[in-house]
Amino acid sequence: MCGIVGLHLRNPDLHPRLGAMLAVMLGEMQDRGADSAGIAVYGNPEWAPSGHGCVSLLELDVLPDEVSATLGAALGVPVAAQLVDATLIASAPVGAEELLGAARAAYPDALVAGFGSDLTVLKGVGAPRDLAESWGLATASGWQGVGHTRMATESAVTPSGAHPYAVGPEQCLVHNGSFANHATIRRELRAQGVEFDSENDTEVGARFVAHQLAAGKDVETALKEVCANFDGFYTLVVSNRDSFAVVRDAIACKPAVIAETADWVAIASEYRALAKLPGVENARIWEPEPEVVYAWTR
């Protein structure tokens, strides 16, 4: 049992409230997973300035000023670095993959939690409400966010085991459930040169989707490939900076509820995470059908 939440804002007037809305949703899912939590936020200029490449790093015992100086010297441009609880966020006026390459070269032992334009990924171990407060999530703005509360079942309770898994540019995935054949698919992906950061089954799903997208497939097709190749029980939310998609397995035993209004689209493991969203009383609300991909584009 884990909890997933996702929020895609259609109304720009709501962008300043994204973090506050997402924090409430995440907190309501704490009972489904109090081991650890994570979020991905798209469009918060305090963490990810517009037009800059951004990278989120964990397990890095280096002060932000030193990171700024080291990466700035490597790239030849100013690099901003800040700590948000345990996550170091770096941004620079270069492409995200160029910044990522410099970060990996300088700090090869750091865990890359996420990278891309407009994207910040934060992860931590502990109660989700406490983590959301330590991140200052309620003050974050943006147009889209996803979150996860974890109850660990098959790998260690560490930041590397927390969701979201953001392994491709501007991409992230959160997952409630388990993949029965993840070891087989991990071996197949490794044979194709894909590297892994953890033994978590969700990372296999995220790497698989990223591999599909890198091959030129769209999100909807990539998720149909997940349904065709993965065994197990799952509800998945996959996002990039311009899209937001949901899919469940063929049996659909993991709970999920979608609500949609003219102002926003939201997904959660339980309705209580949606109950305080503005205008929810007028929302179209439904349970996603098995193996049907629901997708929205900004």
Residue positions annotated with a catalytic role: 2
Dist. CA 238–CA 236, nearest whole Å: 6
Give the count of alpha carbons within 13 A of 139, CB side only: 8
Q: In whole angstroms, what is the distance from residue 287 CA to residue 272 CA? A: 14
* Three-class DSSP labels, 235-298: EEEEEECCEEEEEECCCCCCCCEEEECCCEEEEECCHHHCCCCCCHHHCEEECCCCCCCEEEEC
Rounded distance, CA 166 to CA 154, Å? Answer: 19
